Amino acid sequence: MTTTTTAVPTVRTRVAELAAAQITGWQEGYLDDRSTAVAALARLRRGAGRDAADLPDLWTLIDTSPLHTRVEGVRPLREEELVRAENAVHVALTLWALHQQSRGARMHRPHSPRRPAGLGAAARRLMPPGGIDEPVRKRLVRAGTAADLTTLSQRLRELVVLLRREDIPLDYGLLAGQLYAWQWPGGDGAVRREWGRSFHAWQEADANPPRENTDDDTSRPTDRDKDAS
């Protein structure tokens, strides 16, 4: 008899999936110019680079209830896990909202080996092929050496503004999981290494660029002034 076991998702995985699911829904609504999604994005982006505790207006918008829901076979999260998870989701969603503002393409894009979309890869795309842009590199390094999550979110905000200007997408589910891991002892170093590997992964992808799927509608016309406030 064959026994099938189902892998229990880690807290990091749950955080990443929750962030990606919420962003995907808002992103599609925003690109379809649905008023509720446009309004949600406007509220969310005001939180970019700010502590979640300072913005009670967003508590009813960012739904972290799945993290509190009891699931059969999955242990309830401890208080310290919940706090870190909720903080990570807040930072990821608010940064995405800033990134997506007035863009007609999806600024959240899932990472894949052939199309890297991690933070390091995105920063590398800001640089010229075969060259290093020192100001961009220093911003990435400064983000990785932030002393606390609020400082990290502020430094990531600076990078996101540059990515938005160049229409370079990012996997915000992946980033949310990294932000969760970053808050634990030793997590900052592990996440910095992930960003470094991502940076070099894009160099390899840039040397052998994959053929883009023209059937994937990643760019749609949109009113770029509809949420410019």
Res 7: pLDDT: 63
**What local confidence, expressed as pLDDT, does residue 206 receive?**
52
How high is the pLDDT of residue 214? 35
Q: What is the 3-state secondary structure (H, E, C) of the chain?
A: CCCCCCCCCCHHHHHHHHHHHHHHHHHHHHHCCCHHHHHHHHHHHCCCCCCHHHCHHHCCCCCCHHHHCCECCECCCCHHHHHHHHHHHHHHHHHHHHHHCCCCECCECCCECCECCCHHHHHHHCCCCCCCCHHHHHHHHHHHCCCCHHHHHHHHHHHHHHHHHCCCCECHHHHHHHHHHHCCCCHHHHHHHHHHHHHHHHHHHHHCCCCCCCCCCCECCCCCCCCCC
Low-confidence ranges of the chain (pLDDT < 50): 1, 4-5, 211-226, 228-229
Torsion of CA 135, 141, 144, 150, to 10 degrees: -30
pLDDT at 229: 36
Q: What pLDDT shows up at residue 60?
A: 84
- Encoded amino acid at 169, one letter: P
pLDDT at residue 225, as a whole number: 43
Q: What tens digit of pLDDT does each residue of 66-118 get?
A: 999 888 788 899 999 999 999 999 999 999 999 999 999 999 999 998 889 99
Residue 216: the pLDDT is 45
